[in-house]
Structure formats: structure tokens, C-alpha cells
Structure 1
Amino acid sequence: MRRVMNIRPGRARWVLALLPFALILLAYMMGSAHRRAENPSDKVLPPISEMASAVHRVAFEEDKRTGQYLFWTDTKSSLKRLSIGLSVSVAFALVLGLLIGLLPVANATFSPLTAVLSMVPPMAILPILFIVFGLDELSKVMLIIIGVTPCLVRDLSFTVSSLPREQLVKAQSLGASTWQTLIRVALPQAMPRLIESLRLSLGPAFLFLISAEAISADSGLGYRIFLLRRYLAMDTILPYVIWITLLAFLLDFALAQISRRAFPWAHNAERTS
């Protein structure tokens, strides 16, 4: 008897993947039609046609006050903040994670501090960031850095410290210095895990970004959503939320492809499964 756990989807994988989205879309359309039938002025579940019109208005028509295409201006502002925050986080994680994972002295010095910092709720210190760094761009970027970096550092240090001891001993036996061992042995094996950790951090990073923009910003995806909230403009808010989700998905997909192409050996198990 063939067990369900042994059934592989094969060519039907894409059909199965799209099925939940189709069901969600169908449920939304039915809910929207039902609410509009009861109340023609309902704004909670706007029809898809209204959302399409709203997207066209903010994405392809100049704003009368600023002369900008608000949708793309907001996207550019948010992605700029996100890219700076994540780039700095990755740089710190790469340096500290390798040192903490490979050097016992660095581990004893920085590991407890990193563990404590990773437990601090970033949203709880958002007011402090605004007081210390002001209401400009720096406070928003710092929230992403503080929220993402400690977790990346801990995860990377665990990966490096878990490397087989035999590899490190063999490298030293062949005359490798600490620096050479770090670069040639630890770094290549840590990079796939760093990319994987970065993929897992995209969701929290977007959360920190949207939260900071909602409180203090004059552009950005989070700023626009919370601005339109006052007018119950769900026809624009929902497309913005979908767009943020799509951006996160595309970034995750891009990082996955980079990892598979740059470090194919780290994904051999995926190919054989």
C-alpha cells in the first residue's frame, strides 16, 4: 500500500502551489461581492476593479501636490532603507560571526553580549532610537540593524563553531594561519548559512521598516499605508500590502538563487530529495 508521505507531486507541483492562492482570491471576490450587495459604499473589501484603478492612480499618474509617482517613490524609499540596513547587518554578522565561531577568546568575550542583544525586542527601543538618532533616515536604518544583526551573528557563529574539528586541525597541519583558516575554511562553509539566515530575516526586517516608517517618515510603503488608514482607503492599502509581500518574496527568491549558483555543494540534498 502506497503511503501519502511517499507521493511526489511531480509535474503537478505548480498546480498545487497555485491552488491556495486561487482559493484565497475566490474567497475574497465572493466576500467583496457579498458586502457590496449589502452595502454599496462598503470600503473594507473593495472589488479588484477598484484596486486596479487605485494602483493605476498612484503608480502611473503624477501626484498633483508633489508631481511624483507615489507608488514608485514609496517603493524606492523603502528599498533604500532596507538595503542599507541589511547590508550593514550582513557585514557585522560576517565579521563577528566568524570571529566568535572560530576564536575561543572572541567567543568568551562577545557571545554572551550577542545572546542578550538578540533577546531585546527591537520595537521596544524604537522610541529610544528616535530620541538618540532623530526622526530622519538613520533611526529607521538603525532599527533594522539592531533587529537583524544579533540573530545573524548568533546563527553564523553557531555554524562556524559546528565545523568539524578535523578540518581546522588539518588546515593548521598544512601550515595555515588563523587568518587563512578563517578565509579558506570557515568563510566558504559559512556563506550558504548566512544567506539562509538573511532569507529568514527578511520578514522581521520588513516589519521593522514598516513600523519605523509608520511613525516618522514622509515617504515609504509603511508611511503610505498608515496615512491612507485614516481615510479607510482599502483599495490602495491592500495593493500596497500585496506589493510588500511580493517584494519580500522576490528578494527571498533572488537570495535562494544566488546561494544555489554560488554554493551548489550546499544544496545537493535538495536535488536528491
Structure 2
Amino acid sequence: MKRLINRRPSWLTALLLGLIPFLVIGLVYLGESNARLLENPDDRLLPSAMQLVEGVKMIAVDEDPRTGQVILWADTAASLQRIGIAMGVCTLAGLLFGMLNGMLPYVRAVASPLVTAVSLVPPMAILPILFVIFGLDELSKVMLIVIGIAPFLIRDLQGRIREIPAEMMIKAQSLGASSWQIALRVVLPQVLPRLIDSVRLSLGSAWLFLISAEAVAAEQGLGYRIFLVRRFLSMDIILPYVFWITLLAFVMDRALYYTNRAAFPWLGGRMAKEGA
């Protein structure tokens, strides 16, 4: 008899099983919404399915009379620009300083304590300081994400490099490779896929920092819109925005995952075992 631990569902079965929790959540929500609306038709906490559809139409189809823009797409463009720039800077910083810290003991002795200290600072605690230093424009929002994510990427990549077997470094040096050649031909191919994995893991935190910054000081953005309409208890707008942010984060995660598999096919077996 085949043990349960060795049984694996097909891709279709896995897809259907993965949909079950979402269907249950949807049914529970609709049941609670109907119960609240029957008791109080003016209840705004759990809007009905029709109210949600009307809310989506208002934010995703109708133009805003004040600005002439469709607010969902304008907010999405603003937020994606901020998080795209910030994550690009974080990735480059993580790769550069992570490799330097991981490969060069003298650099690690100088920079590693500082990186560790910065990584332990709660980014939200220094948000007011960032607004004072960088102003209320885009730079402060980008810097909040960079300060929150880059030290994590640097420390993770540094640790990955130090896990590379010493025998590989010794063999490369025995064959006459310089430090630069070891960095490009031995270390870089091994840490790039790990860097992409780390960026994937940090996406949730990056969105959290972005929404927090937009909620405090912004004139456009997904976080700004949520905190703008919360004072009116406009759950028919807030819930679609939350769903949309989640969908964007999921798409970004999947894009990085498949990029990793395409660029580094030798990782396919490990990633499949880890369940993506």
C-alpha cells in the first residue's frame, strides 16, 4: 500500500483543492453579508455582491469627476512605479553588498555589523524621519522600502555565499582564478537564483511599507485610496482594493518564480519539491 506521504495530486487536482479555501471564504462572506443586510439594510461593513460590483465599476470603469482619471488604474500606476523603483534598488544593493560582504572578510568586518543593525530597525518607526529628510514626495516612500528590504537581502545573500563549499573556492584558486573571476564565474551563478527567491519572500513586506507610506503622505496610490475612503466606511471600495493589491503581489511573485525557472533550469527539481 502506497503511503499517504508519497501520494501527490495531479496539477488539476492540486488546482481544484487550492480553490476550496477561497470558495469557503467567499460563501462564508456572502452568508454573513446577507445576514447583516437583512438585519440592517444600511449596514456598510459587509457589502453585498451587487454592492461590490457597483464599487468595482465606480473605481475601475467610471472616470473621477474631479481628475478625469479612472482612479483604480491611476492609483495602480503610481504604486507600481514606487514599488518597482524601490525593489530594483533593493535587488541591486542586495547583490552588490551581499557579494562583497560574503566574499571579502575585510569588507564583512566593516559593513556586516552596520547592515545587521539597520536590518533590526523597524522601518515604520523611522517613517517620520524619512519624511523630514527626504520630504513628502516619491523619494521618502521609495527609501522606506529600501531601508526595510535591502538589509534583509544583503544579509541573506551574504549567508548564502558563505554556505558555498570552500572546496569550490579552493579549486578555482588552484586553477589560477582571480577574485574577480571567482565572483563572476563561481559565486554569481549560484547566488542569483537565491537572490530572486529572497526578493519573492520580501514582496509582502515591501507592499506593507508602501501602503503605510502612501497612507501617511500621498495624493495618489493604492494605500492612499484605502485610507482616504475608510473614514466613510466604504467597504465596497476598500475590499476590491485589498483584493487588487493581493492579486498584484501574486502576479509579481509568479513572474519572479517562472523567471527563476527559465533562467536557472537546473533549479527546477528543488523548486518543485519546495512547492514554489
Q: TM-score band (shorter)?
A: over 0.9
- Runs ≥4 residues deviating over 3 A: 1-4, 270-273
Length-normalised TM-score, structure 1: 0.97
CA separation in 2, counterparts of 1:115 and 1:269?
Answer: 29
Cα offsets for 1:92-123 (capped at 9, x unmatched): 11000011111111111111111111111000
CA separation in 2, counterparts of 1:246 and 1:138?
Answer: 25
Q: 1:271 to 1:212 in 2, by over 3 A?
A: closer
Task: After TM superposition, give the deviation of residue 2 of structure 1 in Å.
Answer: 4.8
Cα offsets for 1:30-70 (capped at 9, x unmatched): 01111001000110000121111111111111110111110
Say how many residue pairs are matched: 273
CA separation in 2, counterparts of 1:221 and 1:270?
Answer: 32
Matched, 1:128 2:114: no
CA separation in 1, counterparts of 2:104 and 2:45?
Answer: 56
CA separation in 1, counterparts of 2:271 and 2:151?
Answer: 28
Secondary structure, counterpart of 2:136 in structure 1: coil
Cα offsets for 1:132-187 (capped at 9, x unmatched): 11111110000000000000000000001110111111111112110111011101
1:244 corresponding residue in structure 2: 245
Q: 1:8 to 1:202 in 2, by over 3 A?
A: same
Secondary structure, counterpart of 1:40 in structure 2: coil
CA separation in 1, counterparts of 2:273 and 2:30?
Answer: 40
1:86 corresponding residue in structure 2: 87
CA separation in 2, counterparts of 1:263 and 1:48?
Answer: 43
1:20 corresponding residue in structure 2: 21
Task: After TM superposition, give the deviation of residue 6 of structure 1 in Å.
Answer: 2.8
Secondary structure, counterpart of 2:43 in structure 1: coil
Task: After TM superposition, give the deviation of residue 5 of structure 1 in Å.
Answer: 2.5
2:59 corresponding residue in structure 1: 58
CA separation in 1, counterparts of 2:6 and 2:169?
Answer: 39
Task: After TM superposition, give the deviation of residue 267 of structure 1 in Å.
Answer: 2.8
Structure 1 unaligned segments of length 5 or more: list them.
none
Residue identity matched to 2:216 = I
Q: Once superposed, what is the RMSD of the aligned Cα atoms? A: 1.2
CA separation in 2, counterparts of 1:21 and 1:9?
Answer: 19
Secondary structure, counterpart of 2:69 in structure 1: coil
Length-normalised TM-score, structure 2: 0.96
Secondary structure, counterpart of 2:45 in structure 1: coil
Structure-to-structure mapping, 1:171-210, within 5 angstroms = 171-210=172-211
Cα offsets for 1:70-107 (capped at 9, x unmatched): 00000000000000100001111100001111111111
Matched, 1:114 2:115: yes
Residue identity matched to 1:93 = G
Percent of aligned positions that are identical = 54
Structure 2 unaligned segments of length 5 or more: list them.
none
2:155 corresponding residue in structure 1: 154
Task: After TM superposition, give the deviation of residue 272 of structure 1 in Å.
Answer: 6.4
